[in-house]
Amino acid sequence: MFDAQRPGDTVDQKETKISARNVQVYYGDTHAIKDVNVDIESKSVTAFIGPSGCGKSTFLRCINRMNDTIDICRVQGDILLDGEDIYDKKVDPVQLRAKVGMVFQKPNPFPKSIYDNVAYGPRIHGLARSRADLDVIVEKSLRRGAIWDEVKDRLHAPGTGLSGGQQQRLCIARAVATEPEVLLMDEPCSALDPIATAQVEELIDELRNQYSVVIVTHSMQQAARVSQKTAFFHLGNLVEYGDTSQIFTNPKDERTESYITGRIG
């Protein structure tokens, strides 16, 4: 809440990590995102909130070009990561997704061992020089995913054998294993119990020391707890974007106010 004042924050000024300019997204004839302009800061957590179908997940998926996989989806406008257009022809989406990691709503571990789930990214991107290196990365990632203590004795058991909450934390561990610069989270806690949710939120807070985290959430309280900036989407429009503390105490737009206070709007 008051962590804008955290030590260190005054030293490194917030820079713009992701900059979206006049972004339009169409699914066939449906205009899903309407002229969205937003600057997402580095080293902070940005929450996207809004009712179902408002476009927040669609917009999130634009940031690592996940919408490329949908044939009828067209993206217009510019999305800049560190000033470079991610939709440029020269950009390899696979490399982009190593820099911009993603965690989905439903846990989707690979049908492999817990160890291999986490080791997969570092292996294909050549981040580990030796087996020992890889062991260190796997342990570190699993610890950051707040699941190490639960799986350290069965690293070679299949990831799919874990509980839903554990699988989700495994997926987060997998996403952070490649040391992404940006982590996109699409309702990462909707399948987790309150304890695991708190652990993931703690993890998000820790991640923002180094990365930009963008989280889509239906839990307003979660957005309020974890983010420094909040963007409210409605019917494909970015209605309001500002400091989380301002959005939740004194929103400027009536639609934002109606939504966050739980009124019909």
Partner 1 sequence: MNDQHIVSAFDRDLEGVQALVMKMGGLVEAAILDASKSLKNRDEELAERVRKADAAIDELEDTINAQCAQLIALRAPTAIDLRLVLTVMKITGNLERIGDYAKNMAKRTSVLVHMTPVEGARGGLRRMAREVQLMLKDVLDAYIQRDAELARDVLERDREIDQMYNALFREFLTFMMEDPRHISPCMHLHFIAKNTERMGDHVTSIAEQVIYLVTGKMPEDDRPKATRYDAE
237 to 38, 46, 243: CA distances (angstroms): 11, 17, 18
Of 8, 83, 111, 262, the one binding partner 1 (CB under 8 A) is 262
Only one of the segments 24-32, 51-59, 72-80, 242-250 lies at the binding site for partner 1 (rule: CB under 8 A); that segment is 242-250
According to the binding rule CB under 8 A, does residue 138 interact with partner 1? no
* CA–CA gap between residue 194 and residue 92 (Å, rounded): 38
Site string for partner 1, 162-201 (x = CB under 8 A): ----------------------------------------
| 241 sits near partner 1 (criterion: CB under 8 A) | no
How near is the Cβ of 202 to partner 1 at its closest, in Å? 20
How far is 26 from 73, CA to CA, in rounded Å? 6
Give the x/- contact pattern for partner 1 in 201-220, rule: CB under 8 A. Answer: -------------------x
237 contributes a contact to partner 1 by CB under 8 A:
no
Q: Residues in contact with partner 1, total (CB under 8 A)?
A: 17
Residue with tokens 């490194």: 12
Q: Are 64 and 175 in contact (CB under 8 A)?
A: no
**Strands, sheet with 212-216, edge to edge from the N-terminal-most edge strand:** 100-103, 182-186, 212-216, 45-49, 229-234, 237-243
CB of 51 to partner 1, least distance (A): 11
Alpha helices in 14-101 (DSSP H): 56-63, 93-99
Q: What is the rounded radius of gyration, in angstroms, for the C-alpha atoms of the chain?
A: 18
Q: Does position 264 bind partner 1 by CB under 8 A?
A: yes
Which residues, in sequence order, are bridge partners of residue 30?
27
258 contacts partner 1 (rule: CB under 8 A): yes
Residues 45 and 40: their CA atoms lie apart, in Å, by 9
Residue 1 C-beta: closest distance to partner 1, Å = 13
Binding partner 1 by CB under 8 A: which of 18, 224, 238, 239? 224
Query: Which range of residues in 16-24, 139-147, 210-218, 254-262 is near partner 1 by CB under 8 A?
Result: 254-262
- The length of the chain is 265
- Judge contact between 220 and 138, C-beta under 8 A: no
Residues engaged in binding partner 1 (CB under 8 A): 220-221, 224, 248-251, 254, 256-258, 260-265
